[in-house]
Structure 1
């Protein structure tokens, strides 16, 4: 039996000056904005720029520009917290560019001596092309700079939650910035902050979840942060960082613009429930800041309630995989793009002259009807009232027929050409997504649930 072929690995691509550098993601613990309190080391030489405090531990900061003959007239904007062989160090970088999958066949060692200053010994050809990337070996860099701290002292915060804050004392909170707002979370809930990887599956921007990403070999469902504002506009660009939240085997990703701090917060400053100035199902409390808008303390239980079973790992078991669908589907635009099982579709009709349109409030709305095969066919719509429609999809459910008003038919999905995944939307029933097979795995559609059809089918 032959050995399995090696798989592609994730590398974080960063920029230091004009140099593009790749670092294996397993060595990247966190991505941080440059800390304000970097302390220069008196008498320091070489690449050791100073030290800073992070989560209660002193971290040395390595700035490679001096060794690379690059100007260092301004501080780098970001720090990557690197971990290797029980050691921690911060690496100053100008930009965090992307996360790339690089196959071992596309990595070549070009420097073969074993001198300690050789922390760049390999190059990678992205996707086998001509574009080259220097690969950094963090453990060799730390040894060459003689700068590191031990991971054994790394603190991840105390086991406290905002809901416990009423007992008095202080609560350790991690603070993030997203779209100009400051979000606070229990420090123990934050497993890792890393450059945001691309979504394996995207759900679009009109729901609670934005899609699915991979983290440490697991599926992580990523929250659509725009829902915190009520409206859900499509952003011009996704936030650059991903905060992975983990507790009791459940994971949820939160994309953020910046990591701000981890600090103990006096519980007397935390306003819970209706006492706070922001009412939202995902906000447990608020903290009134000395200046600027209030900080939003997110409800950790409500966040984790969004996690589907696919994001839960038990022991050494592999994460749950999506189910290959044996059904065929029609994808249609019904105010949102939906997947309708072919087995439930009786026929597709043009709009009849006697149609009485239903009034819709954005949910499945009964009330409209038309004549079909000599009988009254109840109609329902999912889009806003007055939205243009062009066709009626007649659906059979529980021996009853209903018509769904749609704008357009998008595509046909053959059997076994898509996967099905389920997740629980906060405040609602579980939802099922249909994901088409593609190189990006980015074409996903919500499956019309039987409950919606049943509600329309029982209209008077």
Structure 2
């Protein structure tokens, strides 16, 4: 028998895995109709349907309550009846042989929800096995087709289950909506920009999400694959270690796979909103968006990299070969592959320490030059700013209102 091993305050509990629908984080408030008695602690929404939540501590002694930050709601199902159970923690799934489950109470008392125990082969803890059917009956509180939808309609879980691609991203698994996953490819050559990187994908610039943004313990060296996600014509690269399989889940922040592993479901819309560099992929290399009126300046038809030299300056991304860390104080030349490149130090005079900075390898035709800068700040994607001239200088402006910023533009290829 496969059991979900959970803890309710100080009590270790086992619940038949087929009765467990999902684990949800505990909301800040649990609204509920006022009741004189019973164990109803509140209501959560699951699949667009209100689900009552039972707190066993209101019926039986469960020991000292744990830190509320650990508390979750376990959504359970018994036939057509769905209800929630407050738990302190979810440990995962364990397989217990039928002879490993021992019935201790034989009185068949309808007011009791525990009558058997099992020892977890993983942790060695003695689990009190929950009778989910009795719990629903005793609570007299559940949601189901009779209360929320005509009997001829599928239950909410069947309607709202979605297919996700499971990806190994280090200490957690990522669940990516199958429709948003364009492809998974071997990790291509990456060009670092600031704390991120980008690569070329089907003729487009593709920003790569830093691995640590997904899992603090994950590094770029551990990822040999790149999952490419698409949304509204834009694309982002997500570093992963392996592809696993397809699985169906109810949409939530965190769910659990069949083997008990935690799966973090990716909100693709939120991911793209949090990574504006996805706009790098809007146009194929060399393509230009429509221009606006002359008074407002024209949209930039190519991506720009903003870096700190003696000031904040922007240069076309297409003119850069790569971005490298500065290894030691710069000399007159720098070894790059099998070539010795001339070095131009663009930092303020007396920059300290002398070996602190980054190197932009710029190109002009067949020529290359190593430009030393203090650091790279950001990327302005194509269409992300507006170009204008002021006197003899060319500038790119981003943002609006108080967030507006302007940067002088330079072509580093002129140093070649």
Question: What's the TM-score, normalizing by structure 2?
Answer: 0.40
Kindly name which structure, 1 or 2, has the bigger radius of gyration based on alpha carbons.
2
Question: What's the TM-score, normalizing by structure 1?
Answer: 0.37
